[in-house]
Structure 1
Amino acid sequence: MRPRDRATGGGVTRVVGRVIGKQPIGTAFVTPYVVFLAAVFAYPLGFAVYMSFHDYFFAAPGAIVDRPWVGFANYATVLSDPAVRRSFANVGIFLLINVPLTVVLSLLLAWSLNAAIRWRGFFRVSYYVPYVTASVAVVGVWLFLFNSDGLVNSVLGPLAPDPSWLVNSKLAMPTVAIYVTWKQLGFFILLYLAALQNVSKDLYEAASMDGAGRWKSFRNVTVPGVRPATTLVVLLATVTGANLFTEPYLLTGGGGPDGASASPVLIMYQRGIEQGNPDVGSAIGVLLVIGVLILALVQRRLLDRES
């Protein structure tokens, strides 16, 4: 082999080595997930950004149409739309209720279920069942409970709100937030249960020798011990909450009453699919992604500073 060929072959080998890394087996296992992320997340996001800067509309397959560049016109349309602004305010209310409730309830329940109690396996399964149950089936139960003549109003009697929970402009979104908290609680309980296994029992014994009761042990040992899990729970609850769609769509008939429970994703669906304006819908989606990234970054910084 000539020196030039050897140099070329060596260069290719170095490039291939940089791509697959020092652990080619690990790279082989990771590659399918990277392809999945690129196909399901990266490409749609990039295409959404492209649509948001063009006068984009649906056309017949194979048709060649002109979709001119419009710059920030779609974003101006979105930001001037009262329904869009209200949907972002709605999801802000949702997150203010859902995220703290999720963190507090899932941690307390995981702490309780981690103790040596009777029927512990039964309770763990019971809390996880709503998370894996189809939303349509669970929504039917909640509609039965919170309708105007539902079980909750029957129990409350004269204390029941009028109009009822899901048709009340002030209570619709809080009711949706409580529903989502209850349905997803099992998943976050599992995260905390896994984190609790890494908290050393020696710390609890030391706290007990110092005279700390269960509450002080929980506050001074458990809470700091699961702080990384708390960061993960906060971020996941924020991201999933910001992508709220199914619950208001099913519970309140598409964001009612009068948009009081509409989320940005629901408005994006209405504008982009139902009304045939995918460019406007894409602009809403891009703004939502930017907002979630900023919120997640702020939360991460605050939680890291506390730790």
Structure 2
Amino acid sequence: MTVTSNPVIRETPRQGISGRRTWFGRVIGEQPIGGALVAPYVVFLLAVFAYPLGFAVYISFHDYFFAAPGAIVERPFVAFDNYVAVLSDAAVRRAFGNVLVFLLINGPLTVVLSLVLANALNAAIRWRTFFRVSYYVPYVTASVAVVGVWLFLFNSDGLVNAVLGPVAPDPSWLVNSKLAMPTVAIYVTWKQLGFFILLYLAALQNVSRDLYEAAAMDGAGRFQSFWNVTVPGVRPATTLVVLLATVTGANLFTEPYLLTGGGGPDGASASPVLIMYQRGIEQGNPDVGAAIGILLVIGVLILALIERRFVGRED
């Protein structure tokens, strides 16, 4: 008996209309409805972030100035002249130093306080919902209203100095060149703490209770369980918190503008974004302001890469 095998059927690539459909399918993906749902947000990112950033890069390399609508004016290419002017400006260099001081205070305080408080609020304590809401209220309260309270507390004749008495700093907090930026950093930490507590509370739900039980069986106390179970368990959330705190801190504007009257005293609390506003809008030099903004973006990206390397790494 002769056994014949079935011939191997080879499919040839589809041509013509089928080929075009295959190419179109590769572009839009297997589930085009997903692309349709994401498209509005992609358009939003392009319009609100990508285009302004690209336009800022263009402005920073030209002698750009404001002109009447419809006016045709020359804006010559000046290469790195705007960046040289920015880096040689003492006020700009001091502003970048100020924001670095801010990040060194705000970043660690934000991570430590939000994690410790989230861990406490995650336990079965009385009035837990009340405390969660209480910590979140300052975050959603208008900055102008909260700033008024802090001005009342930290003015020269404010409540804090009245409590401290002879120990109170002179000059006072917000008019002291050494204490102005640390005071702003503490204020921002307090105001944004509720948001980061919520992030940690969400992360704590993913830490298995079995790990705590195993640590307790091994004789670990509360602090040892916190350090060896909780901290590693919420490492991804810590990476996110550090990155968000860095980005929001680098964009510091409202707080020094309101608390210290525009970066005072003598620029001790000025931030790069505040200087960018003053140079670009108030003084009519958008090319210089754009150069400050691009340098700030580069600095934040470098800090984010460093933080991702050290904070986000796995042991």
Question: Do the two structures share a fold, i.e. TM-score over 0.5?
Answer: yes
1:223-248 deviations in whole A, cap 9, x for unaligned? 00000100110011001101100000
Any gaps of 5 or more consecutive residues in structure 1? 1-5
Paired with 1:251 and 1:9, the residues of 2 have a C-alpha distance of 66
Paired with 1:12 and 1:20, the residues of 2 have a C-alpha distance of 12
Cα distance, 1:39 vs structure 2:
0.6
Q: Of 74, 90, 114, which residue of structure 2 is paired with 1:66? A: 74
Cα distance, 1:10 vs structure 2:
4.0
Residue 90 of structure 1 corresponds to: 98
Q: Of 129, 142, 145, which residue of structure 2 is paired with 1:134? A: 142
Moved over 4 A (4+): none
Paired with 2:82 and 2:151, the residues of 1 have a C-alpha distance of 37
1:33-66 deviations in whole A, cap 9, x for unaligned? 1111111100000000000000000011111111
**In 2 relative to 1, CA 158–302 (structure 1 residues): closer, same or farther, beyond 3 Å?**
same
Return the TM-score normalized by structure 2.
Answer: 0.94
Q: CA RMSD in A?
A: 1.2
1:172-228 deviations in whole A, cap 9, x for unaligned? 000000000000000000000000000000001111111111111101100000001
* Number of aligned positions between the proteins: 302
Paired with 2:18 and 2:272, the residues of 1 have a C-alpha distance of 52
Return the TM-score normalized by structure 1.
Answer: 0.96
User: Does 2:34 correspond to 1:26?
Assistant: yes
User: Does 2:277 correspond to 1:269?
Assistant: yes
Q: What are the equivalent positions in structure 2 for 1:170-249 lying under 5 Å apart? A: 170-249=178-257
Residue 279 of structure 1 corresponds to: 287
Cα distance, 1:149 vs structure 2:
0.3
Q: Of 44, 47, 53, which residue of structure 2 is paired with 1:39? A: 47
1:230-276 deviations in whole A, cap 9, x for unaligned? 01100110011011000000000000000000000000000000000
Cα distance, 1:7 vs structure 2:
4.6
User: Does 2:38 correspond to 1:48?
Assistant: no
Whether the 8 Å CA contact 2:236–2:312 is kept in 1: the answer is no
1:79-117 deviations in whole A, cap 9, x for unaligned? 000000000000000000000000000000000000000
Any gaps of 5 or more consecutive residues in structure 2? 1-13
Q: Which amino acid aligns with 1:49?
A: V
Residue 296 of structure 2 corresponds to: 288
Q: Matched residue of 2:266: which SS?
A: coil
Residue 3 of structure 1 corresponds to: none
Q: Of 94, 115, 130, which residue of structure 2 is paired with 1:122? A: 130
Give % identity: 85
Q: Which amino acid aligns with 1:33?
A: Y
Structure with max Cα Rg: 2
Paired with 1:288 and 1:12, the residues of 2 have a C-alpha distance of 45
Paired with 1:118 and 1:275, the residues of 2 have a C-alpha distance of 55
Q: Of 253, 258, 262, which residue of structure 2 is paired with 1:250? A: 258
Residue 86 of structure 2 corresponds to: 78
Q: What are the equivalent positions in structure 2 for 1:140-151 lying under 5 Å apart? A: 140-151=148-159
**In 2 relative to 1, CA 280–8 (structure 1 residues): closer, same or farther, beyond 3 Å?**
farther
Paired with 1:255 and 1:184, the residues of 2 have a C-alpha distance of 20
